[in-house]
Structure 1
Amino acid sequence: MRRFILGVSTLALTVGLTGPVAFAEEDVTLYRVFVGDHEAGKITAFDLGEPDKRWSFETTGQVKLYSVDEGAAIVAVQSNNDVVNFIDSGISLHAHGDHSDIDIEDPKAVEASLTGPRPFHVIDHDGKVVINFDRGGYNEIVDAHELSDGELESTRLPQARAHHGFAAPIGKHWVTTVASDAPVEGDASPKRVGMQTVKEDGTPVGEVATCTGIHGEAFSGAFLAAGCDEGVLTVTAGSDAPTFKMLNYASDLPAGGKTGTLLGAKSMQVFLGNYGAKGLVVVDPADEPHFRYIELPFRRIDFALDPANARFGYVLTEDGSLHQVDVLDGKVAKSEKVTEPYSMDGHWNDPRPRIAMAGDEIVMSDPKAGLVRRIAKDTLQEAGTIKVEGMPYNIAVAGGSGKVHEGEEGHDHSHDGGHAHDKGHDHAHDHGDEKVYKGYFEDSQIKDRPLSDYAGDWQSVYPHLKDGTLDPVWEHKAENGDKTADEWKAYYDTGYKTDVERITIKGDVVTFYRDGQPVEGHYAYDGYEILTYEKGNRGVRFIFKKTEGDDDAPAFIQFSDHRIAPEVTDHYHLYWGDDRAAILEELTNWPTYYPSSLKADEIVHEMIAH
């Protein structure tokens, strides 16, 4: 068997209410709102359900706010002041199969910042936050997970010339916008002409895909999309290079319009974009018709997609009305007046409302009124208002729902139950039927499982074993077992060993990272196999076969997570190689993966709490 082994500006913080946040409730839903002022250099943050609990962050000037890394961090871009600041939102979510845990702390500024000439576009994708510096001719690539640890690490991707554009990761490749030497008519800035594949050092690879006036970008499913004068340019990952495809605007769209802002849905493959001053367009990147136009009664101010229910988007128009847009039907479903009129005449950066989603509500800044309005997304009726000093403008939201275990504060997790691996090594979680989890079940109980049960961003625990982080786990096991701590560590060193430090699973694409370099394949379900172990218990391997992808991606992958029917997993053991039968015989090496969002000490708590 061939074993596949990929194996300096600071942000000042003023706190209104401080101290760690503790909850007695087991189930918590919490959304934290961050609001930038239009005039003053400050960001106000508050918990939506308890708005008197608030924090203030001083900035150099006006900010555009982005919620990144599933809301774990906030990016504050100050284009006119040449600085980008970062805030740890204090809220992080961790998936655990049948539930999620939520960790809640005070938000805090990341001490380091990025400085450079006119930062603007921000992309959050595949664990990377990418910021384009329009007048610098480069993008800074930030590790999103480091931000939630209060650290800032970045690398630079240079462009051929400075321009108002962006760069984005596509599988194992990168793409960047391209500008010509010729300026835009009536403007000194270069003319944007398209997009090109580049190496991470900025070296061009392949031809430029034409996209005149390229502006605006979003990810949805397997697609990156960008707006052009001709249509919408889509990009998908490939084994050798990304694939570009132009979706030309349909002839029945209003003449003279184009898309320059796109939002990508998370739970289905579709985009919502602007089109002209009074329209939206639903973009299906895969199937025709690619475009469906939605006419609005007045000019558009701002719009958002519901991440929890991608069927619906919400758009605010200058008459002060909020409209619910049915993306599937391609029409306005309902409308309600929510604020006084805000004309779109004047400068694009004049103070006008901005909207963001917060669970079952839409939060909207209302600069003239000095308020953040809470609006129920199902009825579009006002649920309340929150007074914010100054002129609230740009807005971002972090948060969600999860379990906070009783008596916990900060990053403390606790689970109980039993967990036995194929060969007898144990972890512990509460996973429903304990007999099944320990390997005692009937064949009739086994059901086929989809790859989506394992979807997510996963980290290997092996580096934590090697650096000593997991030593408390071995000491704990030695207290109740028949091995010393050193013997347990040696046993798990064999079990966990791999140099594939990270795996991402999205759709049918599995990407393996070795030393940060990705190798990916597309996988289809190939059934399951039942294994019987020496002590009489059994396990099930759910198997997936590669249908296409990189040559170095394994032909087969086999999951073992002690479940035998469809259920989203919280961690798993993975076996891989090119010989399906030979992989089944592997019982001593079981590379193990936990969510990348978990910190090392959280993994230790997960393993010890058995």
Structure 2
Amino acid sequence: MKRWILGVSALAVSIGAPAAFAEDHEDSVTLYRVFVGDHADAKVTAFDLDTPDNHWSFETTGQNKLFAVNDGAAIVAVQSDSDAVHFIDSGISLHSHGGHSDIDIDDPVAIEGALAGPRPFRIIDHDGKVAINFDKGGYAAIVDAHALSHGTLETSQLKQDRAHHGFAAPVGDFWVTSVATDTPVDGTRIGLRAVEADGTPTGDVATCTGIHGEAFSGAYLAAGCQEGVLTVTPGEDGPVFEMLTYPDDLPEGQTTGTLLGVKSMQAFLGNYGSDGLVVIDPAGEPHFSYIELPFRRVDFALDPADARFGYVLTEDGSLHQVDILGGSLTTSAKVTEPYSMDGHWNDPRPRIAMAGDEIVMSDPKAGVVRRIAKDGLRQVGVIDVGGMPYNIAVAGGSGMVHEGEHDHAHDHGDAQIAKGYFEDSQVAGRALSDWAGDWQSVYPYLQDRTLDPVMAHKAETGSMTAAEYKSYYETGYKTDVERITINGDTVTFYENGQPVAAEYASDGYEILTYPKGNRGVRFIFEKSEGDEAAPEFIQFSDHIIAPAKAYHFHLYWGDDRTALLEELENWPTYYPSSLNADEVVDEMLAH
């Protein structure tokens, strides 16, 4: 199978997520749960956004900075000044099944156990790991996100050379950690270095003077520096570092120190000084697009449901919509009284977070949380939480609710059609939107033995042993393309985290007859424009023969349409990237 040399911009790949399947069903539920840390009191208040009478309170050790991790399944309460970290099961978990999501709802509960250590601060949630930096301890605590979502606290430590205000993050099979010099007090932060899981260095320090702020987007980790923004991507021999130098047309004397990673496309939104923002395209030029703010920034957030937009609150009390692709401010509206940015960085000021079609904003002086509609930035509700609400996090979304035990026996289409027995008249053309979404290859799960239960299950009723089935699927699933995203007409292929993107148009379909007498349909799309390295043709096969949302698919690609139709042994297979390993196994066992 053809391998590609990758390395192109994917900034314009996707500007929004597909509409949730659950919203078209009468037994679906949309629920957002808001968690608020008080500025003065050692507590976290939680309430359901639409029914705030459903509320809970959790005692902690000190003032909390809150983070929703593992898709909101858990809330991490970091108490820097009290040397403590507490964890809360949000009571909401979402399980994606390709065409729809299931939602499990329960009361939020404190997770037994807490972390204690010298000044916990920055936190990174990525690739199933939650890394919490202990600035005065010289290490990062690594929390297993999957265990955390099941109410269990499992941790390890990644040692750093010296204590400093920094971070650690997983990148491919390695970690990267910030590095500081042995100077008094906090040290001088000078860059990033790749390390093994035990902290053993594997390379030189990549310069990033005064490194501060970090985020993930697509294949990229980015960090703010005095020189520019340092990006990190996985490579065959370890993390690959590249400095994106600030261009001459940006205002002088400013830097980026806070970064947010856009979902659904590779881009970052960062501050640039106190009264500017930059949109950063890590793969394509120009790398930086500057947005001037009318007043100093108080807080900003990205919209996970529509990657094109973010929102920024400025000190005059106005909320602004940020057009990521356009690099500009659009709608603006006054939402609270002014909050000056003079004074200490931790003075009580509003914080914002996204909750579906709304922005929720803490308003410390008023003692309330404000609900602001994205449409027109109108206030649509006020929730009195008392005290001085400060840091804020949101969990939730939309999904199907199943009574009793969750049933994975989804309807994947007519059983006879799925087995390959149908009439030509039943076949109809399909649009690329049937496969829209973010997809992961299942080949790594076969290699690491995650799929062993699936092979054993097949052997119980099939004609081969589990080992023989595994060998068969080793050939079938094999691929170097670990991830594929499809949005509109654009398909992006990722190999070792590096993207290749192109636009594709329908080239009809072909009905194939297999040696056993059953049949299948290949839905074919031809490249209309895009990267030279992208294949000329892609062909989908997913046991569905007419327009319908795919739950998984097999994909064939290359430059010869006819030759691809003859390929019957290698069929790289993709399931939604939102599924974890256990959920992929469940889906395969149910299929």
2:400 is matched with which residue? 403
Whether the 8 Å CA contact 1:496–1:591 is kept in 2: the answer is no
Closer/same/farther in 2, CA of residues 386 and 362 from structure 1, 3 Å limit: same
| 1:521–1:392 Cα change, 3 Å | closer
Aligned residue in 1 for 2:390: 393
Distance 1:377 1:491 in 2: 55
Aligned CA distance change for structure 1 residues 91 and 414 (closer, same or farther; 3 Å): farther
**Where does residue 505 of structure 1 map in the other structure?**
483
Residues in 1 aligned to 2:550 and 2:344: alpha-carbon distance in whole angstroms:
49
| 2:544 paired residue number | 563
Deviation at 1:569, TM superposition (A): 4.0
Query: What is residue 38 of structure 1 aligned with on the other side?
Result: 39
1:67–1:396 Cα contact (<8 Å) kept: yes
Assess, with a 3 A threshold, how the Cα gap between structure 1 residues 523 and 382 changes in structure 2: closer, same or farther. Answer: closer
Tell me by how many angstroms 1:200 deviates. Answer: 1.7
1:440 to 2:440 alignment: no
1:250/1:218 Cα in 2 relative to 1: closer, same or farther (>3 Å)? Answer: same
Structure 2: distance between partners of 1:489 and 1:142: 42
2-structure distance, mates of 1:457, 1:371: 45
SS of 1:145's equivalent in the other structure is helix
Which residue of the partner structure matches residue 9 of structure 1?
Answer: none
Moved more, 385-394 or 138-147: 138-147
Tell me how far 1:584 sits from its aligned partner: 5.6
Between the aligned residues of both structures, percent identity stands at: 61
Preserved contact between residue 101 and residue 402 of structure 1 (Cα < 8 Å): yes
Report the CA distance between 1:256 and its aligned residue.
1.7
1:356 aligns with 2:353: yes
Listed as ranges, the gaps of 5+ residues in structure 2 are 2-24, 486-491, 526-530, 532-537, 558-562
Q: Contact 1:110–1:152 (CA<8 Å) still a contact in 2?
A: yes
Say whether the 8 Å CA contact 1:87–1:110 is kept in structure 2. yes
Match of 2:244 among 225, 243, 247: 247
2:186 aligned residue:
189
Q: Deviations over 1:317-370 (max 9, x none)?
A: 111111112222222212111111111122111111100011110000011111
Between the aligned partners of 1:599 and 1:411, the Cα distance in structure 2 is: 17
Residue in structure 1 matching 2:366, options 365, 369, 376: 369
Asked if the contact 1:530/1:540 (under 8 Å) is kept, the reply is yes
Q: Which residue is equivalent to 2:138?
A: 137
Q: CA deviation at 1:496?
A: 5.9
- State how far apart, in whole Å, the 2-side matches of 1:202 and 1:488 are: 46
1:168 aligned partner: 169
- Residue correspondence of structure 1 range 215-364 to structure 2 within 5 A: 215-364=212-361
Equivalent pair of 1:453/1:569 in contact (CA under 8 Å): no
Task: Name the aligned partner's letter for residue 290 of structure 2.
Answer: Y
Inter-partner Cα distance in structure 1 for 2:216 and 2:451? 35
- Aligned Cα root-mean-square deviation (Å): 4.1
**Cross-structure match for 1:150:** 151
Q: Secondary structure at the match of 2:202?
A: strand
Partner of 1:89: 90
Deviation track 1:274-294 (CA, whole Å, cap 9, x = no partner) reads 111211122222222222222
Q: Distance in 2 between matches of 1:454 and 1:537?
A: 30
Structure 2 CA distance, aligned partners of 1:599 and 1:111?
25
In structure 1, the residue matched to 2:27 is 26
2:61 is matched with which residue?
A: 60
Counterpart for residue 439 of structure 2: 455
- Cα distance, 1:44 vs structure 2: 1.1
Q: Secondary structure at the match of 1:164?
A: coil
CA distance, structure 2, for counterparts of residue 98 and residue 561 of structure 1? 13
Letter in 2 for 1:435: I
**Contact 2:311–2:319, Cα closer than 8 Å, also in 1:** yes
Counterpart Cα distance in 1 of 2:437 and 2:544: 10
For residues 552-587 of structure 1, the C-alpha deviation after alignment (integer angstroms, 9 at most, x for no partner) is xxxxx99864235787643467999xxx99x96659
Shift of 1:385: 0.5
Q: Does the CA contact (< 8 Å) of 1:93 and 1:101 recur in 2? A: yes
Say whether residues 1:415 and 2:410 are aligned partners: yes
- Identify unmatched segments of 5+ residues in structure 1: 2-23, 421-433, 475-484, 512-518, 548-556
| Partners of 2:41 and 2:63 within 8 A in 1 | yes
Residue type at the aligned position of 1:135: K
Amino acid at match of 1:118: R
The letter of the residue matching 2:359 is I
Between Structure 1 and Structure 2, how many residues are aligned? 536
- 1:401-430 Cα distance to aligned partner (Å, 9 max, x none): 22224xx1574555346576xxxxxxxxxx
2:108 matched to 1:107?
Answer: yes
SS class of match (1:190): coil
2:519 is the alignment partner of 1:538: yes
| 1:224 to 1:35, Cα distance in 2 relative to 1, 3 A | same
Superimposed CA distance per residue, residues 226-269 of structure 1 (whole angstroms, 9 cap, x where no aligned partner): 11111111122222232222122222222221110011111222
User: C-alpha displacement at 1:86, in angstroms?
Assistant: 1.8
Q: Which amino acid aligns with 1:211?
A: C
Residue by residue over 1:10-61, the C-alpha shift from the partner in whole angstroms, topping out at 9 and shown as x without a partner, is xxxxxxxxxxxxxx94122111111111111111111111111112221111
Amino acid at match of 1:106: D
The answer (yes or no) to whether the contact 1:37–1:393 under 8 Å persists in 2 is: yes
Specify the code of the residue in structure 2 equivalent to 1:297. P
Return the TM-score normalized by structure 1.
0.76
Question: 1:437–1:563: 8 Å Cα contact kept in structure 2?
Answer: no
Change (3 A) 1:200 1:600: closer
Shift of the 346–173 alpha-carbon distance from structure 1 to 2, 3 Å rule, reads same
Change (3 A) 1:470 1:303: same
Distance 2:423 2:158 in 1: 53
Question: CA shift at 1:99, angstroms?
Answer: 2.0
Partners of 2:279 and 2:511 lie apart in 1 by: 46
SS of the equivalent of 2:203 reads strand
Deviations 1:440-467 (Å, cap 9, x if unpaired)?
3649747696986661486959968867
Q: Residues 233 and 244 of structure 1 are in contact (CA less than 8 Å); yes or no, is this contact kept in structure 2?
A: yes
Compared with structure 1, are the counterparts of its residues 202 and 391 closer, same or farther at alpha carbon in structure 2 (3 Å cutoff)?
same
**Alpha-carbon distance in 2 for matches of 1:199, 1:439:** 52
Question: In the alignment, residue 164 of structure 1 is paired with which amino acid?
Answer: H
Q: After superposition, what is the alpha-carbon deviation per residue over 1:148-196, rounded to whole angstroms, capped at 9, x for unaligned?
A: 111222222211111111111222232111111134xxxx111000111
Aligned residue number for residue 17 of structure 1: none
1:575/1:591 contact within 8 Å kept? no
